[in-house]
């Protein structure tokens, strides 16, 4: 046990672990605090020449060197005075008994003085923790902690994303929009919105007051006037748009269905050209998918009907007024070019879909 062991006993175990890592002490992880103190004291004392320059071990070696210099040295025996004739007559054994006593007394005095000097070191008030005690044992601990926290955050975000169901909903929406029918539906919805916004008046309902702190002005709240449904000014343009954009093109696409003939021919030689009862179930299901409407014929018919009706102001044998025929292309976004553009987009989509099916 070195004189600096009390200094090690006054430290916390975390400080001892730091000193053990600095001094390269091997296999100290399983040591208890008392065992670590003894092992560290022995290791530091044995490697004093190599570790004395380490700044974090300066306090230990300072106490070790100070204690070694201040420790009492065994006193040399005083020279004995010249013995008289009476003393020479004493047996030699008596002198031998005195000398060990002096050595024992000297040793006791040295031990007592050493204990007196070492006692203040052990009774010193609790030292403040070392300035580096708050630091982690090594940078690897910080890296591991960051990796664990990053993994937990990534896992929680992934679980929240999966629980929201956004991926499934986006995939379903993409599946619905990835067809010619979806493109045609969106085109018709845009045309219908423009038409209704033009022929349905808005009635004033209330005013939302301004908010000075935000800087918003007064906002008038208006709602559609549904009484227009009882007037011919609504049903005239609306029925004309239905006729030119939906009814007539759908009727032509149903009867002039080019894909139906191709599907029937591809079903096999045993199937009648007109789809008789000899058609098998699988072929009938495949034919039913394309037997309703031909999308290419629908878009071509829509463009042709819109051009002929709105360019020539065809009133369907005086069923509609000229003002009604002129009002529909003016209400649709883009006018007549907008109607033709929507049909052209549908035709391109139909051709592309037919090519992909091949």
Q: What is the H or E stretch that residue 53 is in?
A: none
| Spatial separation of the C-alpha atoms in residues 299 and 305, rounded to whole Å | 10
Question: Using H for helix, E for strand and C for coil, what is the string for the chain?
Answer: CCCCHHHHHCCCHHHHHHHHHHCCCCCCCCCCHHHHHHHHHHHHHHCHHHHCCCHHHHHHHHHHHHHHHHCCCCCCCCCCCCCCHHHHCCCHHHHHHHHHHHHHHHHHHHHHHHHHHHHHHHCCCCCCCCCCCCCCCCHHHHHHHHHHHHHHHHHHHHHHHHHHCHHHHHHHHHHHHCCHHHHHHHHHHHHHHHHHHHHCCEEEEEEECCECCCCECCEEEEEECHHHHHCHHHHHHHHHHHHHHHHHHHHHHHHCCHHHHHHHHCCCCCCCCCCCCCCCHHHHHHHHHHCCCCHHHHHHHHHHHHHHHHHHCCCCCCCCCHHHHHHHHHHCCCHHHHHHHHHHHHHHHHHHHHHHHC
Summarize the confidence of residues 161-167 as an average pLDDT: 91
pLDDT of 65 reads 77
70 pLDDT tier (thresholds 50, 70, 90): very low
State mean pLDDT over 63-88: 49
Name which residue leads in pLDDT, 349 or 105.
349
Question: Dihedral, CA atoms, 20, 21, 24, 29, nearest 10 degrees?
Answer: 70
* Average pLDDT across the chain, whole number: 77
Predicted pLDDT at 82: 42
Residues in contact with 15: Cβ distance below 8 Å, sequence separation at least 6, in sequence order: 129, 130, 133
Task: Quote the pLDDT of residue 25.
Answer: 82
* Stretch 199-208: mean pLDDT: 91
Question: What is the reported pLDDT for 129?
Answer: 53
Lowest mean pLDDT among 61-65, 67-71, 87-91, 129-133: 87-91
Q: Is 228 helix (H, G, I), strand (E, B) or coil?
A: helix
pLDDT given at position 72: 46
**What does the alpha-carbon distance between residue 316 and residue 309 come to, in Å, rounded to a whole number?**
8
Strand partners, 206: 221
Query: DSSP assignment of 95-126, as one string?
Result: HHHHHHHHHHHHHHHHHHHHHHHHHHHHSSPP
Structure tokens at 174: 């993409």
- In this prediction, residue 271 carries a pLDDT of 44
> What tens digit of pLDDT does each residue of 298-331 get?
999 999 999 999 999 999 999 999 999 999 999 9
Residue 329: what pLDDT?
A: 94
> Would the pTM of this model clear 0.85, i.e. be above it?
no
CA distances to 26, 158, 269 from 167, rounded to whole Å, are: 53, 12, 45
Residue 27 pLDDT exceeds 90: no
134 or 28, higher pLDDT: 28
**Confidence (pLDDT) at 240:** 96
The mean pLDDT of 77-102, rounded to a whole number, is 43
Query: Mean per-residue pLDDT for 186-205?
Result: 94
Q: Where is average pLDDT lowest: 184-188, 256-260, 322-326, 351-355?
A: 256-260
Spatial distance between the Cα atoms of 86 and 257, rounded to a whole number of angstroms: 152
- Parse the chain into domains and list their residue ranges: 5-133, 177-257+293-357
User: What is the residue whose two structure tokens read 């018709």?
Assistant: 188
Task: Give me the torsion for CA of 134, 135, 140, 144, rounded to 10°.
Answer: 40
- Most confident listed range (24-28, 54-58, 204-208, 291-295): 204-208
Residue 216: predicted pLDDT: 87
Distance between CA atoms of residues 66 and 56, nearest Å: 17
Q: Tell me, what's the pLDDT at 94?
A: 40
Residue 172 pLDDT class (50, 70, 90 cuts): very high
State residue 299's pLDDT score.
96
């Amino acid at each position: 046990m070195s004189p600096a062991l009390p200094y090690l006993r006054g430290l916390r175990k975390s400080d001892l672990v730091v000193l053990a890592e600095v001094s390269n002490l091997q296999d100290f992880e399983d040591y208890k605090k008392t065992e670590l103190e003894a092992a560290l004291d022995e290791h530091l004392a044995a490697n004093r020449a190599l570790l004395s320059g380490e700044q974090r071990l300066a306090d230990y070696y300072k106490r070790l060197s100070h204690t070694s210099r201040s420790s009492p040295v065994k006193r040399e025996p005083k020279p004995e005075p010249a013995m008289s004739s009476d003393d020479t007559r004493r047996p030699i054994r008596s002198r031998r008994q005195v000398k060990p006593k002096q050595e024992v007394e000297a040793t006791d005095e040295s031990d007592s003085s050493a204990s007196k000097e070492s006692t203040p070191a052990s009774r010193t008030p609790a030292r403040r923790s070392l300035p580096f005690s708050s630091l982690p044992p090594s940078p690897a601990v910080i890296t591991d902690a960051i990796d664990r926290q990053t993994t937990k955050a990534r896992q929680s975000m992934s679980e929240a994303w999966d629980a929201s169901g956004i991926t499934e909903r986006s995939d379903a929406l993409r599946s619905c929009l990835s067809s010619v029918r979806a493109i045609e539906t969106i085109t018709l919805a845009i045309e219908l919105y423009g038409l209704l916004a033009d022929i349905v008046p808005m009635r004033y309902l209330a005013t939302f007051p301004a908010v000075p702190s935000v800087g918003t002005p007064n906002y008038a709240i208006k709602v559609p006037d549904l009484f227009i449904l009882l007037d011919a000014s609504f049903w005239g343009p609306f029925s004309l748009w239905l006729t030119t954009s939906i009814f007539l093109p759908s009727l032509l696409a149903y009867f002039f269905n080019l894909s139906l003939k191709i599907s029937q021919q591809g079903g096999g030689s045993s199937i009648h050209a007109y789809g008789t009862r000899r058609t098998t179930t699988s072929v009938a299901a495949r034919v039913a998918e394309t037997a309703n409407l031909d999308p290419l014929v629908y878009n071509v018919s829509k463009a042709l009907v819109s051009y002929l009706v709105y360019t020539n102001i065809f009133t369907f044998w005086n069923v509609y007024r000229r003002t009604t025929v002129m009002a529909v292309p003016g209400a649709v976004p883009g006018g007549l070019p907008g109607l033709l553009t929507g049909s052209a987009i549908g035709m391109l989509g139909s051709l592309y879909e037919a090519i992909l099916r091949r």
